[in-house]
Amino acid sequence: MAMCVASPVSINSLSPVRLLSSVLQSNTKRSFFISFKTLRISISSSSSSSNQRSAFTAAASMAYARELDVAKKAASLAARLCQTVQKALLQSDVQSKSDKSPVTVADYGSQAVVSLVLQRELPFGSFSLVAEEDSGDLRKSESQETLKRITELVNDTLSSDATYSKSPLSEDDVLAAIDTGKSEGGPHGRHWVLDPIDGTKGFVRGDQYAIALALLDEGRVVLGVLACPNLPLAPIGHPHQDSVQTQVGCLFSARIGAGTDMQLLHGSSPMKVHVSTIENPAEASFFESFEAAHSLHGLSSSIAKKLGVQAPPVRIDSQAKYGALARGDGAIYLRFAHQGYREKIWDHAAGFIVVTEAGGVVADAAGNALDFSKGRYLDLEKGIVVTNQKLMPSLLNAVRDAVREESESASSL
């Protein structure tokens, strides 16, 4: 470990991610050694007092800890609201199931709850939220009943938490909370990134969906939470594995340098999770979207075949796939959207850090890291692939060959 004289880094004037980046950039010449994975910092310079050293270590190891706690609370409350709506939806008759309004109510309600909890619990500094919904349609006169229902649900959900005052929010408060989600994000400052219901198709079917919340700081994802109300605690995607574990509803949370935790959505202590260590593709199973319209199932199948994967695909909705992969249920997630579709940051930011902090790798089809600093969209080289470090090189080779074959056969038509 190279050590030399410390150069000044002001802890107070930098956000944790800038502080760590600035130290890492100067790491070869200066006195700090940082393992980004563990955020353990040692300082050898005799000029640094032990007080400074321990303050620095404490600041770095606790970076974003408060924000993560609040994010977990926000996503859990939003999940409670979504569960209420999904339960009513699944009990309703066929006619109202084809009506889109329950999804609308849950989507807006979830976004309002998350925005309100973040703002109430983290009142200092500016607030920026990049989120899927805005209130444009809700402000139309024909949406009055829907807005009333959303406002009731938001008030019921917040008042279920003892720390919130019982004074009810008005419809205007709820509209304003939804509209905080209009931020464009970008490479500077802090931005929360929210998908209030990821996997709306799964939500309507009664299958998987997730409330996905992440925080960007200076363009990097520094924490993420995935609330997956319908994800079993027992592993999924292992057809021959019987489990006595029947509990459902998982909360994944990850913070930069601190690993990934999973706990029951409505209670239980967090436990660390890790991606699968499988190195032999023949033993791996892979996830993809349930919806063929969201991902090219044919291309995934050709990639899996080239790689030597034998198991059939496990198809589930939403970023629950990232959560399941982070705890080792499957080893690979393949997502190749149809031509022209632009991936949004809220569909991947939380899942990205949940997987990377569990030891996995998330890349585009060319092996590039995903860049969340470009605004509301990801700029991608065709597709997103997720797996463990060992399998990634051979997976990228299989992707390259399958994509080339696909374009050759398209051009020969």
Ligand X SMILES: Nc1ncnc2c1ncn2[C@@H]1O[C@H](COP(=O)(O)O)[C@@H](OP(=O)(O)O)[C@H]1O
Binding site for Mg ion (CB under 5 A): 195, 198, 347
Q: Contact with ligand X (CB under 6 A): which of 6, 234, 337, 366?
A: 337
How far is C-alpha 65 from the chain's CA centre?
Answer: 16
DSSP state of 340: T
Q: Which stretch binds ligand X (CB under 6 A): 17-25, 339-347, 373-381, 388-396?
A: 339-347
Q: Which residue has tokens 């696909």? A: 406
| From candidates 279, 291, 381, 405, binder to ligand X by CB under 6 A | 291
Would you call 292 helix, strand, or coil by DSSP? coil
Distance between CA atoms of residues 328 and 235, nearest Å:
8
From 151, 180, 263, 289, residue interacting with ligand X (rule: CB under 6 A): 289
User: Judged by CB under 6 A, does residue 347 bind ligand X?
Assistant: yes
Interacting residues with ligand X between 293 and 332 (CB under 6 A)? 293-294, 317-318
Nearer to Mg ion, 306 or 348 (CB): 348
Per partner kind, with CB cut-offs from 5 to 8 A, the member of ligand X, Mg ion, none near residue 341 is ligand X
Contact 346, 266 (CB under 8 A): no
Let me know how many helices (H) and strands (E) the chain has, helices first. Answer: 12, 14
Residue nearest to Mg ion (CB): 198
Taking the least distance from each CB to ligand X, the nearer of 200 and 285 is 200
Question: Contacts with ligand X: how many residues (CB under 6 A)?
Answer: 17
In the set 109, 181, 199, 330, which binds ligand X (CB under 6 A)?
199
Q: How far apart are CA 192 and CA 370, in angstroms?
A: 17
DSSP code at position 253: E
| Burial call 372-386: b when 16+ CB within 10 Å, e when fewer | bbebbebebebbbbb
Active site residue 146: no
- Name the 3-class secondary structure at 186: coil
Q: How far is the CB of 342 from ligand X (least distance, A)?
A: 9
377 counts as binding ligand X under rule CB under 6 A: no
User: Between the CA of residue 226 and those of 35, 175, 306, 351, what are the distances in Å?
Assistant: 26, 24, 31, 7
Identified catalytic residue from 151, 157, 180, 200: 200
Decide if 387 is catalytic.
no
User: What's the CA gap between 193 and 215, in Å, rounded?
Assistant: 6
Residues that bind ligand X (CB under 6 A): 132, 195, 197-200, 289, 291, 293-294, 317-318, 337-338, 341, 344, 347
Active-site positions read 107, 200
